Amino acid sequence: MVQRAMTEAATLSLDGVCKHYGDDVLAVDHFTQRFEPSSYVCLLGPSGCGKTSTLRMIAGHEDISSGEIRLRDRTLNRLPPAKRGTAMMFQSYALFPHLSVLDNVGFGLRMRGIDKSERDKRAMALLDLVDMTHLSARRPQQLSGGQQQRVALARALVTEPDVLLLDEPLSALDPFLRIRMRAELRRLQQESGITFVHVTHSQDEALALADRVVLMNAARIEQAGTAQELFDHPRTEFVARFMGGHNVMPLGDNVIAVRTDRMRLGDSTGADDARVEQVEYLGRTVEVSVRRPDGALLTASLEDSRFSQRPWNVGDLAAVSWKESDVRQLEVTHPQ
């Protein structure tokens, strides 16, 4: 597989896409987004927010209730999964236990009627891409979780889809392997030139991988943009809290957010001081949680060198401050 030219890559767009389950449940509410060709997109959000339903509608595994999904200027709404130009990698990997690694990867080509020599050649090329040629004769049960994931990726990529859809692909892996496989996914996306749409509930995953993050909440898009835009410029209280790394607090009639690494702790100055409630050492940083007299709990993320120069202990009084330029004004949102 060679990297696609940008002119050959396809634009995926969703316009006003809704998904109803019965008369009472609205799973996706007017999802509208355009995904640039050859980009890595993460659909991010808590359980039940609609991100997996959106992915399955793109794949054709769920019917849409209204709206339009387009790829390469074709409307996909009524096309079966095999005719859409998409491929899906399921959370469970869904490998065939009775087939070898090579035959698992080549299965989609077999369904298209491609002869064995050609499909084996193409399957081996993909196994080489994911560094699995040496295990091509094994069965899935003889592989580790990370190896099974690589086989599932190769199987999804072998048909050269315009869009690869990934449903929580790293959730079954241990933390160390998750970090390794994040790098593998990004490398594969860049080398293939295929658009990846990746569902996750992990903020770290989205920040590390995505060119574009679509954060969903209660069936709707809460905010979309680059990972840096969502982290540095959260629009709502939900975004600031979900992305993490922010203190969210009232300021008069407004709600503001200040990044935890922009908080300053100084020596006690008087009645407005906060009291240290928790000190958590995280290696490169130390998280110091303080309680203000008004009851607000705030966190300051301090570099370990900075903490070493001025250690804080539970019970200490500290003056809390921040720069005005680090304040983010948040929109006031109301429950649906």
Q: Could you report the per-residue pLDDT of 27-70, keeping only the tens digit for each?
A: 999 999 999 999 999 999 999 999 999 999 999 999 999 999 99
The pLDDT-based confidence of 2 (bands split at 50, 70, 90) is very low
Q: How far is it, in rounded angstroms, from Cα 173 to Cα 196?
A: 19
Tokens of 9: 């890559």
β partners of residue 171: none
Asked whether 220 and 30 are in contact (CB, 8 A), the reply is yes
The pTM (predicted TM-score) of the whole model is: 0.88
Residue spans of the domains in the chain: they are: 12-232, 245-330
Tally the residues of the chain: 336
Q: Domain 245-330 belongs to what topology? A: OB fold (Dihydrolipoamide Acetyltransferase, E2P) (2.40.50)
Give the pLDDT confidence of 102-147 residue by residue, as tens digits: 999 999 889 888 999 999 999 999 898 888 999 999 999 999 888 8
301: helix, strand or coil: strand
CATH of domain 12-232: 3.40.50.300
State the Cα–Cα distance between residues 100 and 303, nearest whole angstrom.
49
Tracing tokens 């050959």 back to the chain, one arrives at 8
Helices (H), the chain: 51-59, 101-105, 107-111, 116-129, 145-157, 175-192, 203-209, 227-232, 237-243, 304-309
275-300 residue pLDDT tens: 999 999 999 999 999 999 999 999 99
Contact by Cβ (8 Å): 247, 298: yes
